[in-house]
Each structure stands twice: as structure tokens, then as C-alpha cells.
């Protein structure tokens, strides 16, 4: 099976990644080697997930060469002051048993530390060779544009909540104009997609599952990468098998039309910015 990649500002990122959000360490140790065996080469974690050490263990035990992997982690907001930032990145690398990550993201906007200082710290670890690429997560269009303006090294992604019920076309378009990809998380809308009659009908027409249709809809959009997360080996295999079919333009449009004004699910108080209004 060919691995599709998205290129963005010099980074080549596998179009489907394996996410580990809310995945306890023992699940990570069990499922990640299996995901790697299936062909996943892009793995996503974060400092706040509390599973970097187990992920490092799983990767080390998998036999997959470090250079064949695209590994992402995210700096937690409390680590944004410069000293804490640098220390936290070293700690992440130690836990992940590697001397670099492929992509390091600012996990959420946080104005307790000036954005210029956050971006400067990202650039510092990039210049040190500890991270190959840098980016942001949960950034609005305005924040993303400001981050781009402040950064010496190019930003390669904005990782955001994106699923059929949340219209992110404006953010995707703004990212593309700046040369960034968008990495979609929460693609299954916390399970909501599975009962959707529209998605069930499209899936039946392709002999695919609803999950495969949603993941396909995401990666079929230019510049969009998707994360998929499961602790089931069978589901991991299913999630990876999305490159042997395509959705028609009308099917793509029908799925886009499922978006709702109140479609956003992830908006934690104290972290979430004032979100962009859907187009």
C-alpha cells in the first residue's frame, strides 16, 4: 500500500497519522507496534498525554528505524516560558528515546507568555536540531498568521479539530495560503459520525466503513492530514486502508454540508481562543 504524504513548507508528512490522545501508557505499548506493523509511519503524542515514555518504549521495541518515522509531540502551555520550554523538550526527547522529533507544536494558544517568546523558543530548539519542523495547534487564523510572521523557520501545520460537523474551510484555506498543512484531530466527532445516515449510505456505496469514509474525506482535501486513534488492532487496519478508493466531488460536498453552526466539540475553558466563525 502506498503511503500518501502531504508536503508543507519543506516538510513531507504522512497523510494519515496514529494519534495517542487519552491513550494510557499500557495501551500505547500494546497497539503502537501493531500500528507500525500495519504501515503507519506518523505517530502523534503530546507532553500532556502522559504517554511519551511508553511511546518511546513501543517505538524502540518495534524494530522500525527511527528515520522511517514521523514523530510529533506538543509543548504544554505551562512550559511556554523559555527555560521551561527548553527543559520540557529535552524531557520529551528523553522519554521518546530519540534525539529529535520530526514536528514540535505549541499545543494551545496561551497569552500568559507572549506569542513572540513561544515562537522564539520553537525556533531555538529547531536551530539546535532537536526538532526537524515546527507548527501550532488549535490556533485561529489570526493567531496562525501572527505566528507565521514571528517565526524565522517555516511553520508546517496547524493541528485542529476537524470533522464533518465542523466547517474548517476558512482555516484550511488560510493555512494553505501560508504554505501550512492542517492536521485534523477528532475526525470521528467523538463517535457521532457512526450513526450518521448520510455517512452510512456513502460508506455502503463504497463497501467501506463510516470511519474509512470520514478519514478519506479528510485526506482527500488538499493539504489536510488526519490522525486516527484506536486501541483495536482490527480498527487500526481499517483506518489505514483509505487509499484504495476515492469519494466523488458530489460525495465530498454532501459530507461538507453536514457541518453545523455548533459543531465544535473541543473547546476547553481557559485554553480555547475566541474561535473563527465558520465561512
Residue-wise pLDDT for 65-82, tens only, equals 999 999 999 999 999 999
CATH code for the domain of 46: 3.20.20.100
Could you give the CA distance from residue 132 to residue 227 in angstroms, rounded to a whole number? Answer: 20
Residue scoring higher pLDDT (231 or 3): 231
Q: Is 219 helix (H, G, I), strand (E, B) or coil?
A: helix
pLDDT on residue 3: 62
pTM over 0.95: yes
In a domain? residue 235: no
In a domain? residue 234: no
Contact 45, 73 (CB under 8 A): yes
In a domain? residue 205: no
Could you give the CA distance from residue 247 to residue 76 in angstroms, rounded to a whole number? Answer: 37
Could you give the CA distance from residue 101 to residue 2 in angstroms, rounded to a whole number? Answer: 23
Q: What is the mean pLDDT of residues 160-187?
A: 97
pLDDT on residue 179: 97
Domain around 45:
5-188+221-229
Strands of 169-261 (E only): list them.
Answer: 181-185, 224-228
In a domain? residue 264: no
In a domain? residue 80: yes
In a domain? residue 102: yes
What share of the chain in percent tops pLDDT 90?
A: 96
Residues annotated as part of the active site: 49
What share of the chain in percent tops pLDDT 70?
A: 99
In a domain? residue 206: no
Could you give the CA distance from residue 230 to residue 239 in angstroms, rounded to a whole number? Answer: 9
How many domains are there within the chain?
Answer: 1
pLDDT band at 231 (very low <50, low <70, confident <90, very high): confident
Residues tagged in the binding site annotation for substrate: 107
Amino acid at each position: 500500500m502506498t503511503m500518501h504524504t502531504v508536503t508543507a513548507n519543506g516538510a513531507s508528512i504522512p497523510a494519515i497519522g496514529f494519534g495517542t490522545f487519552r491513550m494510557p501508557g499500557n495501551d500505547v505499548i500494546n497497539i503502537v507496534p501493531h500500528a507500525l506493523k500495519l504501515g503507519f509511519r506518523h505517530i502523534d503524542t503530546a507532553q500532556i498525554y502522559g504517554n511519551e515514555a511508553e511511546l518511546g518504549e513501543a517505538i524502540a521495541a518495534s524494530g522500525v528505524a527511527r528515520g522511517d518515522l514521523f514523530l510529533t509531540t506538543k509543548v504544554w502551555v505551562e512550559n511556554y516560558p523559555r527555560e521551561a520550554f527548553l527543559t520540557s523538550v529535552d524531557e520529551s526527547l528523553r522519554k521518546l528515546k530519540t534525539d529529535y522529533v520530526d514536528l514540535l507544536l505549541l499545543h494551545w494558544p496561551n497569552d500568559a507568555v507572549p506569542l513572540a517568546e513561544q515562537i522564539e523558543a520553537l525556533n531555538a530548539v529547531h536551530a539546535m536540531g532537536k526538532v526537524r519542523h515546527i507548527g501550532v495547534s488549535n490556533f485561529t487564523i489570526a493567531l496562525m498568521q501572527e505566528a507565521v510572521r514571528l517565526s524565522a523557520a517555516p511553520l508546517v501545520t496547524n493541528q485542529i479539530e476537524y470533522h464533518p460537523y465542523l466547517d474548517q474551510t476558512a482555516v484550511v484555506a488560510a493555512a494553505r495560503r501560508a504554505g501550512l498543512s492542517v492536521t485534523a484531530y477528532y475526525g470521528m466527532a467523538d463517535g457521532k459520525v457512526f450513526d450518521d445516515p448520510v455517512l452510512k449510505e456513502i460508506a455502503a456505496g463504497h463497501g467501506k466503513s463510516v470511519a474509512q469514509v470520514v478519514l478519506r474525506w479528510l485526506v482527500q482535501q488538499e493539504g489536510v492530514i488526519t490522525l486516527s486513534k484506536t486501541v483495536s488492532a482490527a480498527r487500526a487496519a481499517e483506518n489505514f486502508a483509505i487509499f484504495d478508493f476515492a469519494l466523488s466531488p458530489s460525495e465530498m460536498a454532501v459530507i461538507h454540508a453536514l457541518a453545523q453552526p455548533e459543531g465544535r466539540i473541543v473547546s476547553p475553558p481557559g485554553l480555547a481562543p475566541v474561535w473563527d466563525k465558520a465561512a
